[in-house]
Amino acid sequence: MPMTTAPTARWNDRRLLLTAVLGSVAVFAFDVQLPLGIAVTALYGLVVLLGLFVRWPKYPLWASIAVTLLTVAGALISPEGGDTRLGFENRALTLVGVWVTAWLVAGYARVGRALDRSVKDLADTNFALDQAAIVAVTDVKGRINYVNDKFVEISKYSRGELLGRDHRLINSGYHSKEFIRNLWQTIGGGRIWRGEIRNRAKDGTYYWVDTTIVPFLDERGQPYQYMAIRYDITERKLSEERLREQAALARLGEMAAVVAHEVKNPLAGIRGALQVIGGRLPAASRDRAIVGDIVARLDSLNEIVHDLLVFARPREPKLAPLPLATLLEDTAALLKKDPEHAGVSVTIEGDRPVIQADAEQLQTVFLNLFLNAAQASGTSSDVRVAIAKEDGVCRVAITDRGPGIPADMRDRIFEPFFTTKHRGTGLGLPTARRVIERHHGTIEFACPPGGGTTVTVTLPVNAK
């Protein structure tokens, strides 16, 4: 039954009750003027049938009582004529028909009201679900047939862009093929699937959703569509990541204190002693070369210790006006002084803003990013840097031509001590992020399908 508003429904009820009264009066007027044998009282059945459209539950009962009284009164008042016995039989049959009709109308009305309540309950449930959750309905092939406003909001796609497409449109590439295969096998078998999924919005940002996918089954027990109900848990995931980082930093801070006192100072003493010993050896001595190699290894170890200390106990940035493009050009020149990266081509283009930042810290960050880009590009050492200033922030996008970051490693690249290199501490990117965050900025990465990696550093023009 169509849903109507309360004022409209009340107006319809009044109109129908007035119609019933006028109809009853009209039938009674004809009845008292016609001979007893004319079966005009059968028209009273129409009055009772109006109960199909009146919301008053007792209408069929009271209408039947009124019709019964009018029928009996009409029999007493009607002029004589025709077959009297047949007239009374017709009226008796009419009353039977009226009461049977009233019983059927009352039953139908109860069913109709129950259906109205079910429809309203379903509409209210859908409304509540839409307000609280991200909802999508797909067919068995995964094509999207329905999305609610929250889905549109979090995915940043329009409803027109989503309908008819499958969920690969928002696939972040984070989950393994086995994970996706298990999901489809579960819902394809008619079972409910629950889990946490990371998706990718239209603007390239990632978001996490706690997902429940419910298959709708036909009479054969086979799915004919799926409803996915999701809740945004991105903040929770970020909080968990921050807690893990804080725990790691706490452990690292304790270790750094030990390193500073128990390792760094003795290293300096050992290095100095070796240099003295090496200086006393003859220039052609084989032992002098060995001492030189030991000193080089000590220098390498000292760099690792330095990285640990910088990461564990970074100093506060010393903010000053900084021409960002000039800093990047100087950093690129510093990179090319390393013989290993002398052939790297770094192209810098875009705006040339002046920002408030710590030049020394940012140069360390960008040198690390340039080194990563150069190493990823390999023989095609072409690194492009784009600078853009808008809305009080500067964005520096560094793009290489490498193979990109493997999907199963993308979630760990900012994790302390995680590295894919044979030599390295795994602290370069974590340190870079800590420095950028202390400048109230962000550092993010993206891996386009065509290959390569773009790292985007966003910094405020006027850091506070």
CATH for 320-460?
3.30.565.10
Alpha-carbon Rg for the chain in angstroms: 41
Q: Which residue has the higher pLDDT, 163 or 14?
A: 163
User: What is the pLDDT confidence band of residue 82, given thresholds at 50, 70 and 90?
Assistant: low
pLDDT 10s digits, 331-387: 988 888 877 777 888 889 999 999 999 898 899 899 989 988 888 876 557 889 999
Quick check: 434 and 365 in contact, CB under 8 A? no
DSSP 212-253: EEEEEE-TTS-EEEEEEEEEE-HHHHHHHHHHHHHHHHHHHH
User: What is the pLDDT confidence band of residue 423, given thresholds at 50, 70 and 90?
Assistant: low
What CA–CA distance (Å, rounded) separates 51 from 63?
8
| Nearest partner of 348 among 389, 391, 388, judged by Cα | 388
Instruction: Give 356's strand partners.
Output: 321
Quick check: 356 and 320 in contact, CB under 8 A? yes
In the prediction, which pLDDT does 388 show?
Answer: 92
CA torsion 113→117→123→127, rounded to 10°?
A: 150
User: What is the pLDDT confidence band of residue 326, given thresholds at 50, 70 and 90?
Assistant: very high
| Assigned CATH topology for domain 133-232 | Beta-Lactamase (3.30.450)
pLDDT 10s digits, 105-154: 787 877 777 777 777 777 777 777 777 789 999 999 999 999 999 999 99
In the prediction, which pLDDT does 2 show?
Answer: 42
- CA contacts within 13 A on the Cβ side of 50: 23
Cβ neighbours of residue 304 under 8 Å, at least 6 residues apart? 425
Q: How many other CB atoms are found less than 10 A from the CB of residue 151?
A: 22
What CA–CA distance (Å, rounded) separates 360 from 186?
54
Q: How many other CB atoms are found less than 10 A from the CB of residue 326?
A: 13
In the prediction, which pLDDT does 438 show?
Answer: 86
Q: Give the start-to-end residue ranges of the domains of the chain.
A: 6-130, 133-232, 244-312, 320-460
pLDDT 10s digits, 28-68: 776 667 666 566 666 667 777 777 677 777 877 777 788 77
Strands annotated E in 273-365: 320-323, 345-350, 354-357
The torsion angles phi and psi of 446, rounded to 5 degrees, stand at -145, 145
